[in-house]
Amino acid sequence: MSQVLRQAWWAPIAALLLAAQLVVAVTNLGHENVVPILVIALVGALVLAAGLWTRPRARLLGNALIVVGSLFGAFWFWTGYTPVMAVIVIIGVVTSEVRSPARAATTL
C-alpha cells in the first residue's frame, strides 16, 4: 500500500460525508426552518471541501478545515450515518497527523 493511501485512508469517507451534507441541505428545502438548515449543511460541506482541497499543499490547515467540516457533519446526529462518518474522518485525520513522517523531530 502506498504512503498516500496509508495516510489518507479516510479521504473517501470524507467525500461521502461531504455528499451527505449536500443531501441533507437539498432534502430539507421544504422545511419551515430552511435557512439554518441550509447554512449548517452548506457551510459544513464547503469547509470540508476546502480542507480536502487544501490538505495536499498546506497539511495542517487542511487537517483543521477537515475536522471543522466533519464537526458540522456530526451535527446531523438523527440521520445516524453522518456522525459515524464524521467520527471516522476526525479519527483518521488525527491519526494520520500523529503518524506523519514529515512531523518527525530532528535534533542538531
pLDDT in tens, 24-48: 889 888 888 888 889 999 999 999 9
Examine the pLDDT at 1 and tell me if it is beyond 70. Answer: no
Cell of 96: 494520520
Count how many domains the chain has.
1
Q: Which domain holds residue 88?
A: 14-97
Hey, what amino acid is at 65? L
Evaluate the CA torsion angle 30, 35, 39, 42 in order and state its sign: positive
Point out the least confidently predicted range of 16-25, 41-50, 73-82: 73-82
pLDDT band (50, 70, 90) for residue 79: confident
Query: Scanning the structure block, which residue is given the C-alpha cell 438523527?
Result: 78
Assigned domain for 51 exists: yes
Contacts of 9 (CB under 8 A, 6+ apart): 92, 96
Assigned domain for 5 exists: no
Query: Scanning the structure block, which residue is given the C-alpha cell 495542517?
Result: 60
Assigned domain for 106 exists: no
Of 88 and 7, more confident: 88
Assigned domain for 33 exists: yes
Assigned domain for 85 exists: yes
CA distance 45 to 49: 6
Task: Determine what percent of the chain is predicted with pLDDT higher than 70.
Answer: 85
pLDDT band (50, 70, 90) for residue 76: confident
Cell of 95: 491519526
